[in-house]
Structure 1
Amino acid sequence: MNIKKILPILLLISSFNFYAQSESIKDKKEQIKALKVAYLTTELDLTTKEAEKFWPVYNTFDDKQFELRHMKMKAYKQRMSEAALDKMTENQAVLLLTQMENTDEELFLLRKNYTKNLRKVLPAVKIIKLRISEEGFNRKLLHQYRDRHNKK
């Protein structure tokens, strides 16, 4: 592993501690996003030309995915508390289930369209590396979070 790959990983890991001390959720989200950008840029080894075309596509997808996952799913989760489920009629449950399936389909179509758009700006190998890198980043973030809470 060369220094070009090691340095951002070290920065990523050391930055998680700073992340943990941040005051607001918005700040935390921005810090994670900045760390993710640095991580993905390093892992994908994007050329300047690729980066100029890639980041607008990626950011649009990421924002829309966040909206779908967090806003809609949060609304569903509130309606799925144990007390709410006990009072829910079969028709209400069918409606909620249909809404959840529609959101899942929206997420699938969003990802499919995103991949189609990425193919216009990145070679297929880098798109696959992107998926692997995103999973790696999320795994490191989760491990850091778990480690921080296990120490408390």
Structure 2
Amino acid sequence: MKKGYIILLIALCSVNVFAQTKDEKVKTLKIAFITEKLDLSKSEAQKFWPIYNAYEEENDALRDEMRAQRKDINLNDLSESEANNLLNNMVQSNEKRLQLYNQYVKDLKKIIPAKKIIILKKSEDDFRKKLFEEYKKRHKDDKK
């Protein structure tokens, strides 16, 4: 009977993996990568992931906002005044991101040691690099 439940569980997980979008798959892989690198205790993990996820959401929202500001701009028709306004908005957005990051680090320091925060940053950078290398590899293969 237990074997049946295990097979059913594996089948359901497999279906879930195939149903995920590319963004969800990347996010799942990133979480697994970070989890492995940080080696969080159960207590640390319970406190860490809500802070991490909230930071990621807010940071993504700020990045999307910044991208939207620049998206519909025709550089040839941009007046000096409009350029100044856009530049001021970009500076303000960067200041918001910096404040968000500083608060994030403060919050993390309350639950995990500074060394693990450094490992987290390195792990995120390593994951991004690995993702980019995989992207280049796949597109190189596509061009052949």
TM-score normalized by the length of structure 2? 0.82
Identity in percent: 38
In structure 2, the partner of 1:114 is 104
- RMSD after superposition: 1.7
What do the CA deviations read for 1:8-30 (whole angstroms, capped 9, x no partner)? Answer: xxxxxxxxxxx9xx89xx81111
Aligned pair 1:75/2:65, yes or no?
A: no
Summarize the alignment of residues 27-106 of structure 1 with structure 2, pairs less than 5 Å apart.
Answer: 27-69=21-63, 71-80=64-73, 84-106=74-96
Q: Which segments of 5 or more consecutive residues in structure 2 lack a partner in the other structure?
A: 1-16
Runs of 4+ in 1 over 2 A off after TM superposition: none
Structure 2: which amino acid aligns with 1:40? I
Do the aligned partners of 1:79 and 1:85 also contact (CA within 8 Å) in 2?
A: no
Task: Give a deviation string over 1:60-102, Cα, whole Å, max 9, x none.
Answer: 0001111111x2122133134xxx1111111000000011111
Deviations 1:88-145 (A, max 9, x none): 1110000000111111111111100000000011001100100000000010001001
- For 2:141 and 2:66, locate their aligned partners in 1 and report how far apart those are by CA, in whole Å: 30
Q: 2: CA distance between counterparts of 1:91 and 1:121? A: 46
Q: Which gives a bigger RCO, structure 1 or 2 (Cα 8 Å, sep 6+)? A: 2
| Structure label with greater radius of gyration | 2
Quote the Cα distance in structure 1 between the aligned partners of 2:107 and 2:91. Answer: 24
- Residue 132 in 1 paired to residue 133 in 2? no
**What code does the residue aligned with 1:36 have?**
K
| Structure 2 residue identity aligned to 1:97 | L
- In 2, distance between residues paired with 1:138 and 1:77? 24
- Matches of 1:73 and 1:143 in 2, distance apart? 26
Where 2:66 maps in the other structure, the secondary structure is: helix
2:132 to 134, 142, 145: 142
TM-score, normalising length from structure 1? 0.78
In structure 2, how many angstroms separate the alpha carbons of the residues matched to 1:145 and 1:67? 24
